[in-house]
Amino acid sequence: MIKHIAIIFIYICINSLLVGQRTIIHAGSLIDGKSKKVVKQYSIIIEKGIITSVVKGYAKPKNDDTVINLKDKTVLPGWIDMHVHLSGESNPQAYGEDFYMNPEDVAYRAIPWIEKTLMAGFTTVRDLGGEVILSARDAINKGYINGPRIFAAGVSIGTTGGHADQTSGLNRALRGDPGPYEGVINGADDARKAVRQRYKDGSDLIKITATGGVLSVAKNGLNPQFTENEIKAIVETAKDYDMFVAAQHTESKVCNEPLEVV
C-alpha cells in the first residue's frame, strides 16, 4: 500500500514545477489529516506546487490541466522529517570518505537515498548538515531528479574541536585551521561570518551543534560547545537574513541555552 501511496509524491514534485499549470489528482480514497474517516472519491487541486483545494467528486479538468488517476489508490498528505542527512550514512568507512571521495561523488551517491526517502512517503525534509545537498535540492526543484522538497542547512556551524569541526580526530599534520568558511567559529565575529557564508552558499536555515553527538569524535560529546555570545550572534545574524536556527544538543541542561538568547 505504501508503494501505491508513494506514487503521488513523485508526480506532485514533478508537476509543481510547471508554473501556471494545474494538476488534478483523482483519489479513490483520501486520508486528509483532519477527518477521522477515510473519504471516498475526492479531487485534490494543485497550482504552482501548492494544494489549493480538496473537493468531493472527480473534478473535470480544463484544457491544459494534468490529471493523475489514482481512483484505485489511497492518497494521504506527505510526511515531514525534520532531521535528515541525505548525503551520507553512518558506517565505519564514513570518517575516511573526505580523503577519497570528491563532492561530485557524494552528490551522485545521494541520489538513490533521496529517491528512497520520497518513496517512503516523505515529501518534505529538513537536511541538517551537508554541503552537496544544496545542489541536490536545486536539482529537485529544477526537475532533474526526483526527490522531496528539501530545506537545507548546508555546512553545520560548530566550534574548534566541536561536533561540526570535521578535522577532529585527524592526524595533526592534516588538521589545518578551519574557520567560518568551513563552519568552525571562535567568537561572535566568526559566528556572524559563518552565518553570512551559509547565506552566500544558498542555505535555507542555519544548523549549529550546541553539544557533541552520539557519533562525535570530540573529547566530550555532552558538554556545551558555544558561548552565549556566540549563539546570540548566530541567532541575530540569521534573523537579519530571515533564516531559522536549528540547534543539536544531547544534554538536557544545554537545551535551553539557544532558546534563552532568542
pLDDT of residue 165: 82
pLDDT of residue 11: 44
What residues of the chain score a pLDDT lower than 50? 1-2, 4-7, 9-11, 13-18
Task: Measure the CA–CA gap between 41 and 57, rounded to whole angstroms.
Answer: 5
pLDDT of residue 18: 47
pLDDT of residue 241: 98
At 226, which amino acid appears? F
pLDDT of residue 88: 82
Pick the closest to residue 203 from 262, 133, 118 (CA basis).
133
Kindly state the helix (H) or strand (E) to which residue 73 belongs, with its residue range. Answer: strand 66-75
**Paired sense of beta strands 22-30 and 39-47, if any:** antiparallel
Query: Which domains occur in the chain, in start order?
Result: 2-76 (2.30.40.10), 80-260 (3.20.20.140)
pLDDT of residue 133: 95
